[in-house]
């Protein structure tokens, strides 16, 4: 796992953003980050310096986790007072026929990963031609080998999960073709976690104008 500061301007509040697989920060830079510094985590499985002393001076710390980044959040060994933690289209059991991405789908993605199939993946996670074109604007030449290694890291995730409870609220998109909505419901219902359902696809960020808009969603 690596971390990168998307914004660091000594704001009083911090968002720890656990990004989804195969995405960098570019699709999220349009989100207004007023009053928040943003620290992004990605490339799960990569080595990281776990020294988090530089985030302990914030008045408030929030967690937002997207897709496989939800599992990434569960595996993160932080000791912070978190104001609110929100999961978006993901669970703590990333490869699972009941709670996560169905095993045959996940294994097929890993086995057949290529630049062409990655483009198909981006089409599957969006809900409209406009959203798909928006996504394509941010795609650089992908490191297929690295992306495949990252997928492999999520196998046997129970051994990597540190937290049993983490999130206060989960956003579930009913048109998600990656993490089926019924699997997300099954996971969060067992966690007694509040959920908000949106009629959208796996990547719903085009519908929001700011990070705060996501945090303020109510059940």
Q: Where are the domains of the chain?
A: 2-215
Please give the pLDDT value at position 148: 95
Dump pLDDT digits (tens) for 133-189: 877 776 766 789 999 999 999 998 888 888 888 999 999 999 999 999 999 999 999
Please give the pLDDT value at position 106: 97
* Whole-angstrom distance, CA of residue 49 vs CA of residue 203: 29
Q: Are 113 and 148 in contact (CB under 8 A)?
A: yes
CA 206 to chain centre: 15
Q: At the topology level of CATH, where does 2-215 sit?
A: Rossmann fold (3.40.50)
Strand-pair partners of 38 = 7, 15
Dump pLDDT digits (tens) for 52-97: 788 888 999 999 999 999 999 999 887 788 999 999 999 999 999 9
Indicate the burial class of 87 (C-beta count within 10 angstroms; 0-12, 13-18, 19 or more): buried
Please give the pLDDT value at position 50: 66
Q: Are 60 and 83 in contact (CB under 8 A)?
A: yes
| pLDDT above 80 for 49 | no
Statement: the pTM of the whole predicted model exceeds 0.85: yes
């Amino acid at each position: 796992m690596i971390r990168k500061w998307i914004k660091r301007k000594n704001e009083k509040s911090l968002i720890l953003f656990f990004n989804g697989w195969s995405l960098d920060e570019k699709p999220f830079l349009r989100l207004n980050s007023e009053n928040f510094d943003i620290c992004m985590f990605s490339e799960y499985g990569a080595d990281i310096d776990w020294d988090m002393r530089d985030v302990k001076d914030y008045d408030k710390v929030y967690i937002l986790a997207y897709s496989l980044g939800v599992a990434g959040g569960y595996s993160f060994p932080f000791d912070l007072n978190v104001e609110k933690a929100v999961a978006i289209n993901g669970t703590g059991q990333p490869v699972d026929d009941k709670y996560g991405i169905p095993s045959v789908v996940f294994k097929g993605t890993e086995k057949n990963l290529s630049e062409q199939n990655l483009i198909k993946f981006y089409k599957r996670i969006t809900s409209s031609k406009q959203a798909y074109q928006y996504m394509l604007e941010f795609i650089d030449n992908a490191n297929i080998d690295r992306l495949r290694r990252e997928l492999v890291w999520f196998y046997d995730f129970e051994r990597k999960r540190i937290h049993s409870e983490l999130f206060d609220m989960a956003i579930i998109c009913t048109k998600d073709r990656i993490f089926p909505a019924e699997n997300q419901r099954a996971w969060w219902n067992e966690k007694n976690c509040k959920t908000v359902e949106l009629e959208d696809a796996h990547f719903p960020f085009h519908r929001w104008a700011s990070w705060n808009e996501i945090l303020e969603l109510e059940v």
